[in-house]
Structure formats: structure tokens, C-alpha cells
Amino acid sequence: FSFPWQKREISNFDYLMYLNTLAGRSYNDYMQYPVFPWVLADYHSETLNLTNPRTFRDLSKPMGAQTMERKRKFIQRYNEVEKNLSAQCHYCTHYSSAIIVASYLVRMEPFTQTFCSLQGGSFDVADRMFHSVKSTWESASRDNMSDVRELIPEFFYLPEFLTNGNHFELGCMQDGTVLGDVQLPPWANGDPHKFILLHRQALESDYVSAHLHCWIDLIFGHKQHGSAAVEAVNTYHPYFYGDKMDLNNIKDPLIKSTILGFISNFGQIPKQV
């Protein structure tokens, strides 16, 4: 299947869906939902230039290493583990989890109810809700050390999830902004359909086609764990590696339930393909 992709006979979108399926990811499981990459780094320009490499995210690095300063901090965390953490890793949060999926799709049912149930019955504080593509990118790539989220497939084909068509009362942010439709980059001109069209074009662009294999190595391939992952600043809490943990050998039911709860709430590394 990779050979037709290398020959550009199938789209990048279709190849990523194929890899997700091969790795056990499914639309039927919020905890193992298909994971897609952030592909752009430009959420401020009036027009989107898909011929300029600076328009794109660095696909050779995980979200935790998109800036040198952020990368340095996560390496420092990994090296100081003996003092602070129970397990040596760069990241204690994951790039894909049930709450991340539900937060992206919160404006659509049944995800609205799923999000609320995961939040204890109500929406989250408005400032923490998904309300802007630009601010979510800045949080996940630069600003928030507990946020390394990637995207979901809907960002490349489903404009409806970006609008509050059901008129949910999502709350009001501290600056007075009432949450409604998701705020889009200037190059989308406030049009969810244009955002999806350009975002999909970015995914299928020459630049992404030439570099997508680097991201695939991080998420599905040999840089997923072990020494290659350490070198790539791409290691996660051991509990996230569900298939690497032998739960049958854990006799303490409290420890076992804690691990299972951790995996279900905070995400799971895909099976290596």
C-alpha cells in the first residue's frame, strides 16, 4: 500500500487513514481515534502560500519539539526525572485522547454529550474550550507544556464541526468573547468550507508529501519508542504504551485499574506498523 502512495497514486489523506486502521485506530473508539498531523504553521497570513516551506509545521519533530525553547524544556524534564517524576519520559500528556477528540468535535452531537460526560456533566471553562485554530496551534506547538495534541481527520473534510450549528451555550471567555463558531485563520475568510479546502490542499501539497514519512516514523514507526524515540524527543509516559504493558502480570487490582484508567483518559500510542 505504501508503494502506490510513494508513486502518488493515492492521497496523503487515504494513506494516513490506512496507517491508522493498520495500527488499530478507529472512529468507533474515542480512546484510539485516528490521529492526523498538524501540517501548517501559518495561521496569521491573509493568504496561504503552499509553495513556501515556512508555511508548514516541521513534520520531522513531534509537537513538543516545534520550537528550540520548548524542546530544551522537555529534554530537561526527561533528564531530571529522578527528582520529579515516577517515570522517565518527555511527555506526561498525549497527542490523542478521548477528551481531545471530543473537545475538537464538541459543537456536534453525539460528541457534545461525550465531552460533557468526560467533563463531569458540563462544558469546560470557556477559556479552555476549543475556540480558535490559531490559539490551539500556539498552545500545542509553543505555549502550553501540557499540550502536545495533534489533529483528527475531520480537520481535512468536515466544515460542520467548526460551526456552532446547534447553538450550544458554550460560555464566555475572560476577555468577554462569547464562544460560538471556531475562529478561523485570516486566509479562510471566516468560511469553514474554505478552511477545509485549503487545509486539505496543504495536506496534499508537495511539501507535506515530501516530509510526511518523517511524521509517520514518529507516530507509527521506529521513532515511536526506544532509543530512536529518546533521540527524537518523542517519549511518553509508560502507561501510554498499552501494548507494551503486561497487565496480566500486575496482581494489585488497584494498580491495574489505575493504569487502565490512565490509558482510557489520557490516550494510547498506536500499534507500531
Q: Which pLDDT value is given to residue 248?
A: 66
Question: CATH code for 1-264?
Answer: 1.10.1540.10
C-alpha angle with apex 129: 91 to 257, nearest 5 degrees? 50
The CA-atom distances, in angstroms, between 101 and each of 76, 95, 121, 209, 270 are 29, 10, 17, 25, 15
Task: Determine phi and psi for 23, rounding to 5 degrees.
Answer: -90, 5
Give the closest residue to 12 by CA, choosing from 2, 22, 21: 2
For residues 217-225, average pLDDT: 95
Q: What is the pTM of this model?
A: 0.91
pLDDT for res 20: 97
For the residues 227-245, what does the mean pLDDT come to? 86
pLDDT for residue 16 is more than 80 = yes
Which pLDDT score is estimated for 111? Answer: 94
| Separation CA 41–CA 138 (nearest Å) | 9
Interatomic CA distance for residues 102 and 244, integer angstroms = 26
| CA atoms of 104 and 97, how far apart (whole Å) | 11
Beta bridge partners, 178, equal 172
**Average of pLDDT values for 150-163?**
98
pLDDT in tens, 60-91: 999 999 999 999 999 999 998 755 556 789 99
Burial class (CB in 10 A: 0-12, 13-18, 19+), 228: middle
Could you give the angle at which helices 12-22 and 192-203 cross, rounded to 10 degrees? 80
pLDDT-based confidence at residue 216 (cuts at 50, 70, 90)? very high
Residues 6+ apart with CB under 8 A from 59: 37, 39, 208, 211, 212, 214, 215
Question: How far is residue 211's CA from residue 135's CA, in Å, rounded to a whole number?
Answer: 24
Average pLDDT, the chain: 91
Residue 263: predicted pLDDT = 66
Per residue, the 3-state secondary structure of 244-259, as one string, reads: HCCHHHCCCHHHHHHH
Calculate what percentage of the chain has a pLDDT beyond 70: 92
Residue 245: the pLDDT is 61
pLDDT of residue 204 exceeding 80 = yes
Under the banding of pLDDT at 50, 70 and 90, the label for residue 247 is: low
> Which position has the grid cell 508529501?
209
How many other C-beta atoms lie within 10 A of the C-beta of residue 23? 19
* 191 pLDDT tier (thresholds 50, 70, 90): very high
Cβ within 8 Å of residue 9, ≥6 positions away: none
pLDDT of 237 > 70? The answer is yes
- What's the pLDDT tens digit per position in 85-121? 567 899 989 999 999 999 999 999 999 999 999 888 8
Is 166's pLDDT higher than 70? yes
Model confidence band, residue 186 (pLDDT cutoffs 50, 70, 90): very high
pLDDT of 47 reads 97
Number of residues written out for the chain: 273
**Cα gap 273→221, rounded to integer Å:** 6
Tens-place pLDDT, residues 26-43: 999 998 999 999 999 999
User: In terms of C-beta density within 10 A (0-12 exposed, 13-18 middle, 19 or more buried), how is residue 103 classed?
Assistant: buried
Q: Where are the domains of the chain?
A: 1-264
What's the CA gap between 94 and 198, in Å, rounded? 27
CA distance 261 to 174: 32
Are the C-beta atoms of residues 184 and 191 closer than 8 Å to each other? yes
Q: Burial of 119 by CB count in 10 Å (0-12 exposed, 13-18 middle, 19+ buried)?
A: middle
